[in-house]
């Protein structure tokens, strides 16, 4: 049982827009801690996708965007591409520990 709740899976056709939610509580996201997002392609290490709720590291396409409100955060991917098929994880801080969401598998139909 993860501290941050994500849907196990989402899917979309190429070119479509999908969103992945990350629901926390008043001790993590709701306490004002930032949310970060990671993309993990099959068989590889996680890669930072969004940091500080809505910031993209250099090299990450602007098709990826993040937002945060209250005790939740969201990752949006527009113009879905086959190469976006991966697992996505949210992360936040909670009482001197880091917490991750359970992960969401994105399938590009």
What part of residues 55-74 is at the interface with another protein (CB under 8 A)? 57
- Virtual CA dihedral for 103, 29, 93, 35, nearest 10 degrees? 60
Rounded CA-CA distance 65/49 in Å is 9
Kindly state the smallest distance separating residue 102's Cβ from another protein, in Å: 5
Q: Which of 18, 20, 29, 33 binds another protein (CB under 8 A)?
A: 33
Distance CA 12, CA 30 (A): 29
Helical (H) or strand (E) element with 19: strand 18-23
Among residues 29, 38, 68, 77, the one that binds another protein under rule CB under 8 A: 38
Please state, in angstroms and rounded to a whole number, the distance separating the CA atoms of residues 60 and 10.
20
CB of 89 to another protein, least distance (A): 5
Q: Does residue 12 interact with another protein by CB under 8 A?
A: no
User: Of 71, 49, 54, 59, which Cα lies nearest the Cα of 4?
Assistant: 71
Interface residue with another protein, options 48, 63, 78, 85 (CB under 8 A): 48
Q: Is 103 in the site for another protein (CB under 8 A)?
A: yes
Binding site for another protein (CB under 8 A): 2, 33-34, 36, 38, 40, 44-48, 51-52, 57, 87, 89, 91, 93, 96-103
């Amino acid at each position: 049982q993860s501290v941050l709740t994500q849907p196990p899976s989402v899917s979309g056709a190429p070119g479509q827009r999908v969103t992945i939610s990350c629901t926390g509580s008043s001790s993590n996201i709701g306490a004002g801690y930032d949310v970060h997002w990671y993309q993990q392609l099959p068989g590889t290490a996680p890669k930072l996708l969004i940091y500080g709720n809505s910031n993209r590291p250099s090299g990450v396409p602007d098709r990826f965007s993040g937002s945060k409100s209250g005790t939740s955060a969201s990752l949006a991917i527009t113009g879905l591409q086959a190469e976006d098929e991966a697992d996505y994880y949210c992360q936040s801080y909670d009482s001197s520990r880091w917490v991750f969401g359970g992960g969401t598998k994105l399938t590009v139909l």
